[in-house]
Amino acid sequence: MNTTKSHQLLEGKNGLIFGALDERSLAWRVALACQREGARFTLSNAPLAMRLGTLQKLGELTDSEVFPCDVSDYKQVVELIKKTIDSTGKLDFILHAVGMSPNIRKRIEYSQLNYGLMRQTLDISAISLHKILQACVQNKALNDGASIIALTYIGAQRVFSKYSDMNDAKALLESIARNFGSRLGQKGIRVNTISQGPTKTSAGSGIRGFDAMYEFADKLSPLGNPSADDCADYCVTLFSDLTRKVTMQNLFHDGGFSTNGISEELIFDLIALNEQKNTSE
């Protein structure tokens, strides 16, 4: 549970949040934190995910409209943006928390990728950010000073073998954020990515070896892994006016993982492992 007190940092702001699937979803926690800070927003997810019915629950909880949209289909994205601004007005913030790799789901190794599936990975997880922002620009959907965040992972910079083609998707996602950030800056609009540490959500847990990646990151990070609620609080700061000059950045929110070389805990683990190996020989 998020116990952070409200500072009303988002009072009067209107947002659009993609990717809340269930209570563990990063987008779900972000929605609750945005509500706490006084924002109103629209929620969206793929039509298939919406059939699960949990997003409607979040809609009721936060008094938000819920619209379906497959973000890989540009027509649906344009329709969603038009519907959203018709119903709630222009946007002050957007959260892109969407990711999916059919290659990972089917346990296909990186050196044997199915390219049709890889195109889907890139389309859903990265090019969708371009589609959303292009649709916003064409429909004048963003207020001056708006803030856009896409959630990413350090696989964009370093290879995590089990993260497969999602490593590539995240690199593309971060590049799209920078490119749009450069163009939208004239209107004071910020575009950033938050590189979240491993978090136990539906997408996260679907990756083979996730538990090992989670434990490794937790032991390497001086502050430990960030929770979904920690991520939500960080998003609030970036949606707020307090960060109005931050744009085109990939911001690590990972407890220090990305900068730490090795931790005492990992050194002791490796020493213990070596001692175990030596005694069994």
Ligand X SMILES: NC(=O)c1ccc[n+]([C@@H]2O[C@H](COP(=O)([O-])OP(=O)(O)OC[C@H]3O[C@@H](n4cnc5c(N)ncnc54)[C@H](O)[C@@H]3O)[C@@H](O)[C@H]2O)c1
Cβ proximity to ligand X: between 102 and 145 the closer is: 102
Question: Which three-class secondary structure string do you get for the chain?
Answer: CCCCCCCCCCCCCEEEEECCCCCCCHHHHHHHHHHHCCCEEEEEECHHHHCCCHHHHHHHHHCCCEEECCCCCHHHHHHHHHHHHHHHCCEEEEEECCCCCHHHHCCCCHHHCCHHHHHHHHHHHHHHHHHHHHHHHHCCCEEEEEEEEEEECHHHCCCCHHHHHHHHHHHHHHHHHHHHHHHHHHHCCEEEEEEECCCCCHHHHCCCCHHHHHHHHHHHCCCCCCCHHHHHHHHHHHHCHHHCCCCCCEEEECCCCCCCCCCHHHHHHHHHHHHHHHHHC
Among 17, 49, 80, 149, binds ligand X (CB under 6 A): 49
Instruction: Tell me how far apart the terminal alpha carbons of the chain are, to the nearest angstrom.
Output: 48
Smallest separation, CB 33 to ligand X (Å) = 14
Decide: is 70 part of the binding site for ligand X (CB under 6 A): yes
Binding to ligand X (CB under 6 A) within 178-217 occurs at 196, 198-199, 201-204
Decide: is 56 part of the binding site for ligand X (CB under 6 A): no
Smallest separation, CB 124 to ligand X (Å) = 4
Decide: is 220 part of the binding site for ligand X (CB under 6 A): no
Decide: is 21 part of the binding site for ligand X (CB under 6 A): yes
Smallest separation, CB 210 to ligand X (Å) = 7
Decide: is 45 part of the binding site for ligand X (CB under 6 A): yes
Among 15, 19, 226, 255, binds ligand X (CB under 6 A): 19
Q: Which stretch binds ligand X (CB under 6 A): 30-38, 92-100, 109-117, 175-183?
A: 92-100
Decide: is 274 part of the binding site for ligand X (CB under 6 A): no
Decide: is 124 part of the binding site for ligand X (CB under 6 A): yes
Among 41, 93, 153, 180, binds ligand X (CB under 6 A): 153
Decide: is 149 part of the binding site for ligand X (CB under 6 A): no
Decide: is 34 part of the binding site for ligand X (CB under 6 A): no
Cβ proximity to ligand X: between 72 and 247 the closer is: 72
User: What residues have CB less than 8 Å from 106, skipping those under 6 apart?
Assistant: 114, 117
Among 9, 94, 100, 146, binds ligand X (CB under 6 A): 100
What whole-number distance in Å separates Cα of residue 243 and Cα of residue 238? 6
Q: Which residues bind ligand X (CB under 6 A)?
A: 19, 21, 25-27, 45-46, 49, 70-72, 97-100, 124, 151-153, 196, 198-199, 201-204
